[in-house]
Structure 1
Amino acid sequence: MDLVLRISRAIDRFLWLMAKVGSWCAALLVLVVTYDVFTRYLGVPKVFGLTSTMLQESEYWLHSFLIVLVVGYAYTKQSHVRIDLIRENLSERAKYIVEIAGILLALIPYSFLGAWLSWPYVVRSYTSGEISKSQTGLTDLWILKSGLIILFVLIGLAGISQLIKSMAGLTGRLPDDLKATTIGGGH
């Protein structure tokens, strides 16, 4: 069990790293929006051949990747919706069983299916050389669309990590410091 818990910790570190990259997307998003506002409303000239459309499209690209890169980490920190009315009254063992069932029956199949169905969408975008519908927009839309695959892979990895921790909890081998981020805790 120690080996699989180390695997879970490695997955969690990777998800934390991805979330850090996502947080840089947030910082860049603030800078791009600020630059866009200054150039548009204060008459500051744009540099490097950028257009307002490029700036606006890069804003939603950054926002998209912020969400894509942070969501897996957020799941491992119990930052997702739960129906606590029923769950809060369950025993710790029952909570682990519910968590395991949810991961095996919903999260992992959903992640696999989402990545599998997104793959042709991204490949089609790449092979066709898809670009923005605007003449002055961004190119290489496959990069943005590949965020779907990344999203599902990161959620799937988070599910695997949580599954490992839940199984360890069910067998009584989960360290106390991981309980709150595995089955939730007090509010």
Structure 2
Amino acid sequence: MKKLNVPYISQKDLYPTGCESVSAVMLLNYLGYAVSVDEFIEKYLECQPFETKENQLFGPDPRQSFCGSPYNEDDFGCYAPVIKKALEKVIGDSYEVIDETGKPTLWLLENYIDQGLPVIYWACIDMREPIIGPEWRLLGTGEVFTWISNEHCMLLVGYDDTHYYFNDPYEGHGVISYPKELVESRHKAQYEMAIGVRKKG
């Protein structure tokens, strides 16, 4: 069993859709960056609101900005490139932020957890089934985008023979474990998105 001791932050009450930001800040705090969740959201995270035009919902591309606001429970979230960009603004030249989307979880364990580094990891809230939808038209291009609901982001901090361990901001009480097969299935449902941070040089 391997488990990293990472400072825990809950998203409950204050950041109902802020799981990506809270997970990023837990990682930053672990690395010694004294940044708060509010500071991360307000100074570094790109957010874009939804608009209704001619009875149609238009919204941002979650690969480019947060869809709505992490403070609003009716809004959505964002994908790995948005968190990578925000982290790069905070982290400066000491670390490299790497979008590890598509890498197997075992690879993440070997290259990050075993090296003492947590991983920002997308799956589904409480490991629920993913739900296809809702849809909106992307601001700028007008193309239809389909969100996969129950999207959730956590910080992968450890593993044993049968489970992965997470600082799960949604749970409100620190480290939680989920069965490996279930985690990998839910991770796949959210495009196997993950972000790692490595010291340069």
TM over 0.5: no
More helix by share: 1
Q: Name the TM-score class by shorter chain.
A: under 0.3
TM-score, with normalisation over the residues of structure 2? 0.24
Higher relative contact order (Cα pairs below 8 Å, separated by 6+ residues): 1
